């Protein structure tokens, strides 16, 4: 069940998260959020825009780490600043093109609520291609079922709208027509608004968006590995059956030798050939014997070839299953590396990152100690036999495939050892189990790349992995 983590996106979870934010944004909540945004993002440049899907957009800024999530979800639209580290790819299309054209590089002068309604206006200034300053407004209407995003020029005319209308309605939204705010005689009442709780709910929503975004990006890889594993397992089954048939024919050698022995005993030969099903009476006993010898030799070669093919197939299955088990912890750069290695013809569909050495393993910093780990045999080999020192500590799941884990400290605390042990289990797709722990000086290279032989070790047994350990693993960095 390795495929479950990244690849299955539960739409019900999004619905539940939206429900957490009910009642929908009140007038007071919009006023509060507009004031917060004005304090935080005014005097910032918009450095990037990501259109995650048809409803959700993320803005990045020049002087603050927080990102702005704008969701024009049909039932419960919302907006919030979030302190997140997720990387998103943008969906190409008209929305992406216009937002980047008018907003990327724009300077925010003010954020305010309009007409005491569920509408926020972001005032912007941007240099045009002639380096002349132009004023724009971004209007965000958070009205359930009729929400909208509208870009206005300095004359208050519509340059772009997410949802256009026609002249048949009372407030048409048409390109280059003057924008008319929603009529409002509403009065804002003071009320309780738990901003932290609100942000926490949206953070959960964004996590799901991030997983969905990664899932869509990695889906061709997922299908590749899943289908390859399935076909390789079928291949192993066919080869095992073929090998069994060939093994049953190894007795042909004995039959050939018996025919040679009976070649001078006609009565014994006649009695013996009655027990054979493939004896050709048109041929002499010698010719039949040679025929059986040929079948024996062919069967022996088949077994040898099948054993080689089975070993290759099982190693490949092991490699692909390991890759799938680690998908929750792959960065965008690693996903690109996998595309380059396994599906190079698909790489053009994905953002190209700076070239990095694929052998370089990963690490996290915890309590002032670095814990390194590999995600494939090249990284495992580099980590243990190139990067680690003799005084460092080595960990690996017992009697199974998995990541090499190295604690870069000769005398780590129990907390460090516990976390490193959990990482070894997590990266082997296990929730519990035994882990070998040894000094690096007692770990030797095996015959194949990434294989490690341990001369002396102790065993740690864990029955459960802490959720906070899984979260720490998402903060991984790459060695350089």
CATH number of 82's domain: 2.30.310.10
Q: Is the pLDDT of residue 14 over 50?
A: no
* Distance (Å, whole) CA 141 – CA 124: 17
pLDDT at site 24:
64
Report which of 188, 181, 146 is spatially closest to residue 35, judged by C-alpha positions. Answer: 188
Which domain covers residue 176, as residue numbers? 27-192
Share of the chain above pLDDT 70, in %: 91
* Distance (Å, whole) CA 210 – CA 239: 42
Q: Is the pLDDT of residue 142 over 80?
A: yes
| Domain final residue pick, 192, 215, 237 | 192
Indicate whether 388 belongs to any domain: yes
Lowest mean pLDDT among 67-71, 91-95, 306-310, 455-459: 91-95
Indicate whether 179 belongs to any domain: yes
pLDDT at site 190:
82
Indicate whether 411 belongs to any domain: yes
pLDDT at site 159:
95
pLDDT at site 8:
32
Exposure string for 286-305, b = 16+ CB within 10 A, e = fewer: eebbebbbebbeebbebbee
Over residues 69-76, the mean pLDDT reads 87
Indicate whether 143 belongs to any domain: yes
Q: Is the pLDDT of residue 421 over 90?
A: yes
pLDDT at site 355:
61
Indicate whether 436 belongs to any domain: yes
> 202: which residues sit within 8 A by CB, 6+ positions away?
17, 21, 69, 71, 78, 80, 82
pLDDT at site 460:
95
Most confident of 21-25, 48-52, 247-251: 247-251
pLDDT at site 346:
73
Of residues 5 and 270, more confidently modeled: 270
pLDDT at site 417:
96
Of residues 349 and 58, more confidently modeled: 58
pLDDT at site 300:
96
Q: Is the pLDDT of residue 339 over 90?
A: no
Report whether the peptide linkage leading into residue 228 is cis, meaning its omega lies within 30 degrees of zero: no
pLDDT at site 103:
93
| Domain final residue pick, 166, 192, 218 | 192
Q: Is the pLDDT of residue 348 over 70?
A: no
Share of the chain above pLDDT 90, in %: 57
48, β-bridge pairs: 60
User: What average pLDDT does the chain have?
Assistant: 87
pLDDT at site 11:
37
Indicate whether 246 belongs to any domain: no
Q: How many domains does the chain have?
A: 2
Tokens representing 303?
């077994």
* Distance (Å, whole) CA 175 – CA 456: 74
Over residues 174-185, the mean pLDDT reads 86
Reported pTM = 0.55
* Distance (Å, whole) CA 468 – CA 419: 10
pLDDT at site 354:
55
| Domain final residue pick, 165, 192, 219 | 192
Q: How confident is the model at residue 357 (pLDDT cuts 50, 70, 90)?
A: confident
pLDDT at site 5:
33
* Distance (Å, whole) CA 122 – CA 138: 5
pLDDT at site 1:
26
Lowest mean pLDDT among 33-47, 176-190, 368-382, 417-431: 176-190
Indicate whether 426 belongs to any domain: yes
pLDDT at site 356:
65
pLDDT, tens digit (0-9, with 9 covering 90-100), for 319-334: 888 888 777 777 777 7
* Distance (Å, whole) CA 14 – CA 208: 7
Q: Is the pLDDT of residue 369 over 90?
A: yes
Q: Is the pLDDT of residue 336 over 60?
A: yes
Indicate whether 259 belongs to any domain: no
Of residues 351 and 344, more confidently modeled: 344
pLDDT at site 145:
83
pLDDT at site 370:
96
Q: 52-56: which pairs have CB atoms within 8 A and are 24 or more residues apart? A: 52/88, 52/90, 52/91, 52/209, 52/213, 53/91, 53/209, 53/212, 54/91, 54/95, 56/209
Report which of 173, 167, 121, 168 is spatially closest to residue 146, judged by C-alpha positions. Answer: 173
Report which of 409, 402, 406 is spatially closest to residue 428, judged by C-alpha positions. Answer: 402
* Distance (Å, whole) CA 447 – CA 434: 24
> 135: which residues sit within 8 A by CB, 6+ positions away?
123, 124, 125, 153, 154
């Amino acid at each position: 069940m390795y495929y479950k983590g990244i690849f299955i996106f539960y739409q019900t979870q999004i619905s539940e998260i939206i429900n957490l934010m009910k009642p929908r944004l009140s007038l007071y909540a919009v006023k509060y959020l507009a004031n917060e945004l004005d304090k935080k993002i005014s005097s910032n440049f918009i450095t990037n825009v990501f259109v995650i899907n048809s409803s959700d957009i993320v803005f990045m800024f020049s002087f603050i780490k927080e990102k702005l999530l704008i969701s024009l979800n049909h039932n419960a639209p919302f907006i919030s600043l979030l302190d997140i580290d997720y990387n998103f790819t943008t969906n190409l299309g008209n929305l992406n093109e216009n937002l980047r054209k008018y907003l990327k590089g724009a300077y925010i002068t003010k954020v305010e609520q309009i007409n005491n309604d569920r509408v926020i206006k972001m005032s912007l200034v941007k240099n045009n291609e002639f380096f002349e300053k132009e004023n724009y407004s971004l209007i965000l209407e958070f009205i359930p079922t009729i929400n909208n995003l509208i870009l206005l020029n300095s004359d208050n005319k519509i340059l772009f709208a997410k949802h256009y209308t026609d002249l048949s309605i009372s407030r048409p939204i048409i390109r280059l027509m003057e924008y008319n705010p929603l009529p409002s005689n509403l009065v804002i009442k003071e009320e309780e608004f738990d901003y932290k709780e609100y942000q926490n709910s949206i953070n959960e929503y964004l996590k799901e968006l991030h997983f969905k975004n990664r899932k869509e990006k990695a889906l061709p890889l997922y299908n590749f590995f899943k289908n390859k594993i399935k076909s390789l397992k079928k291949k192993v089954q066919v080869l095992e059956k073929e090998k069994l048939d060939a093994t049953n024919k190894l007795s042909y050698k004995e039959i050939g030798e018996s025919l040679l022995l009976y070649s001078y005993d006609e009565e014994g030969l006649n009695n013996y050939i009655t027990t054979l099903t493939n004896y050709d009476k048109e041929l002499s006993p010698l010719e039949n014997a040679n025929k059986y010898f040929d079948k024996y030799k062919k069967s022996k070669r088949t077994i040898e070839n099948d054993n080689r093919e089975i070993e290759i197939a099982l190693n490949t299955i092991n490699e692909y299953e390991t890759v799938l088990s680690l998908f929750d912890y792959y960065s965008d750069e690693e996903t690109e590396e996998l595309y380059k290695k396994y599906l190079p013809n698909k790489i053009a569909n994905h953002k190209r990152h700076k070239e990095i050495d694929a052998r370089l393993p990963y690490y996290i910093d915890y309590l002032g100690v670095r814990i390194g780990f590999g995600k494939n045999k090249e990284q495992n080999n580099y980590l243990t036999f190139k990067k680690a020192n003799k005084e460092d500590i080595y960990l690996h799941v017992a009697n199974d495939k998995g990541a090499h884990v190295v604690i870069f400290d000769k005398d780590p605390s129990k907390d460090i050892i516990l976390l490193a042990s959990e990482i070894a289990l997590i990266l082997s797709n296990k929730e519990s189990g035994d882990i070998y722990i040894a000094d690096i000086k007692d770990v030797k290279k095996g015959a194949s790349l990434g294989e490690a032989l341990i001369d002396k070790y102790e065993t740690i047994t864990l029955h459960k992995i802490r959720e906070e350990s899984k979260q720490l693993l998402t903060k991984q960095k790459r060695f350089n």
